[in-house]
Chains A and B, each alone.
Chain A
Amino acid sequence: MDSVTKRYPDGTVAVDRLTLEIPDRSITVLVGPSGCGKTTTLRMINRMVEPTEGTITLDGADLQRQPVTALRRSMGYVIQNAGLFQHRTILDNIATVPRMIGWGKQKSRERARELMERVGLDASLAKRYPYQLSGGQQQRVGVARALAADPPVLLMDEPFSAVDPVVRKGLQDELLRIQDELGKTIVFVTHDIDEAIKLGTMVAVMRTGGRLAQYAPPAELLSDPADDFVEDFLGADRGIRRLSFFASEGLQLTTAPVVRVDATAEQLAAPDAPYLLVTDVEGRPLGWSEPRDLTAGDIAAERLLPYGRPFVPGTDSLRAALDCAVLSPTGWAVAVDGDGRVTGVASQQTIGEAIRTAHGAADGRTAGPGTDGDRPAGAAGIAKAAP
């Protein structure tokens, strides 16, 4: 998008000289308060709204010069509340575009069935009508319908904002999974900054009046908001949220205070720690206890302090590790492997050090050379933690 402006006849400027380069095969999120022109921007891509000035090119071709219906059929479109055809069955809803472009009834329906499975809809719903589905299921149908003719581009206009938070999280995870498999170029509009940060490879923050405030990967948005508007929009806890982008892999774990439930008196006395983590014989965590409350051979799981929610190093982020430590009554976070066996514990202090190290490394990377010479530069493990 090059210097695109949309001005309405009454003089209102919905989008003001917007220039954006949207990367292929990744999710780009347009986020901003209502009235910032994000939906208008999206609708200019499939020409439901024509720009007043500027050009939009797709793979080097000017969109303005392409026949509009063919253009639209090559772009999937998902809308809030799904916008399903209430008078058609789920299967026929999904098969709409394939039918229009002449795939034939049989092939279109086969494709629709395949997509129902892909978006996690039970095949038994095929012959139902939209009113018989829950909001979340309708939205899945909406996504399947947009994917039906296998378009390279997917436009999504606040698709998940009308469903409840639990269903929304499920839909977001599903979208990321589908994107992993299909690698579409997705432009996603939302007013929810958390959704933007979770889904976006790149995030464009827009402000009222249709101007671009910042265009950056989510981690950079959190670490270096361009101005007060972006910082406000990100919310008060951006520091905590930024931790989602730091891997917990390098965290210094210790196994010293970990004892098995069948430990001997010597083993119980050995560690010099204020609290001991008791595990079962297979190594799964049971709970915390002060050493003096433990008697060898007589450890009752129900008398132990809860251990909170363990994190998995490598899979979970530092945010999950910190969360675990904060929730734990002892202030120690429990790390487990994929099978739930304890691999070690980390104190809040250790996690704090890891955060400082990660911050230093990340800032050294994103601030660029010469701006902050005193910060340690280096390639530290910045990884977007799996959701």
Chain B
Amino acid sequence: MNGFFDIPSDLDNTYFGLIGLHLREALLPVLAGLLAALPVAQLCVRFRWLYPPVLGVTTVFYAIPSLAVFVVLIDYTGQTELTVMIPLAVYSLVVLVPAIVDGVRSVPEETLAASTAMGFGPVRRYLQVQLPIAVPAILAGLRVAVSASISLVSVGALIGNQGALGNLLADAQKYGRPELAVNSVLTTAVLAILCDAVLVLLRNLLTPWMPRGRSGGRRPKKAAALPESQEAGAR
């Protein structure tokens, strides 16, 4: 296709520049959402009664269309990247809070009791026991948040030149160049897949302690990774 990578000059950017912008607009909000979600989730774990209302309120946030948020924000933050990133950060927060809460709560009762009995204080216990064990659940949440965020950045085209790869869609219409739309969709998809792959790799590096079955399922109660003779031989 001719002119596939021929970026219209009104975007004021190169192809790779657009990719960089897209990634920044997508990933910074996820990072912000994660940083905000960690304390919120910890509060929800600490005070159980807090979780249902927090879940309710954040879910309502998720239901607000980003366009509506833009309309409100544009008075304060103008036609900037920030206007695009704020709703994305909120959406990430909504996905990540339950992921972290469930992850931290999945730490077995006896593991917690054992750590308390060994003289772990609450902070040490959170950082050294609960959080590491919640890593698989947190990363599962991050995968959803990152994919969603990468696809949602394109909406930024609605408030001007802030949609990164999404602006290629707008320009495809404006200049009658369908190849730009195909470029936009394909590049966004490839970015999402690559980011997801990086997160999977990160999870595997962070959790060598997880059983890696073909199904990639949760930890079985008792793994038969060792033959029973090991048990007998150990005696």
Contacts and interface: CB of A to CB of B under 8 A. Distances in A.
B170 interface: no
B118 A96 contact: yes
Nearest to B107: A86
B118 A86 contact: no
A366 interface: no
A72 B209 contact: no
A134 B111 contact: no
Interface stretch (B1-9, B157-165, B191-199, B221-229): B221-229
Contacts of A21: none
A131 interface: yes
A48 interface: yes
A175 to B, nearest CB: 13
Contacts of A89: 209
B190 interface: no
Interface string A106-127: 0000000000000011100100
Given A79-B114, A130-B209, A131-B220, A120 B235 contact: yes
Interface in A111-163: 120-122, 125, 129-137, 140, 142, 145, 155
Nearest to B208: A129
Contacts of B30: none
Nearest to A46: B117
Interface residues of B, number: 34
A341 interface: no
B216 interface: no
A364 B80 CA distance: 95
B205 interface: no
A84 interface: yes
B117 A131 contact: no
Nearest to B132: A87
Contacts of B132: 87
Interface string B125-149: 0000100110100000000000000
Give the interface centre of B117, B219, B231 by most chain A CB atoms within 10 Å. Answer: B117
A83 interface: yes
B234 A87 contact: no
A85 interface: yes
Interface string B92-128: 0000000000000000101111111111110000000
A170 B235 contact: yes
Contact of B117 (A77, A100, A122, A134): A77
Interface in B145-175: none
A77 B118 contact: yes
B230 to A, nearest CB: 7
Contact of A132 (B108, B135, B226): B226
A228 B233 CA distance: 44
A100 B119 contact: yes
A357 interface: no
B114 A77 contact: yes
B207 interface: yes
Contacts of B230: 122, 125, 134, 137
A79 B226 contact: no
Contacts of A80: 110
A140 B209 contact: no
A105 interface: no
A167 interface: yes
Contacts of B113: 48, 79, 83
B211 interface: yes
A350 interface: no
A82 B220 CA distance: 15
Contacts of A68: 119
Nearest to B135: A87
A65 B220 CA distance: 42
A130 to B, nearest CB: 7
Contacts of B121: 69
B209 A88 contact: yes
A96 B116 CA distance: 12
Nearest to A122: B234
A97 interface: yes
Given A72-B119, A131-B220, A82 B110 contact: yes
A128 to B, nearest CB: 8
Contacts of A61: none
Contacts of A71: 119
A172 to B, nearest CB: 12
B114 A131 contact: no
A379 interface: no
A377 B155 CA distance: 96
A271 B194 CA distance: 91
Contact of B209 (A46, A131, A137, A155): A131
Nearest to B118: A97
Contacts of A208: none
21 contacts: A73-B119, A77-B114, A82-B110, A83-B113, A86-B111, A87-B133, A87-B135, A97-B119, A100-B120, A120-B234, A121-B234, A122-B233, A129-B208, A130-B209, A131-B210, A131-B211, A131-B225, A134-B222, A136-B231, A145-B118, A174-B235
The 9 closest A-B pairs by CB, nearest first: A83-B114, A83-B110, A77-B117, A72-B119, A73-B119, A129-B209, A69-B119, A132-B225, A87-B132
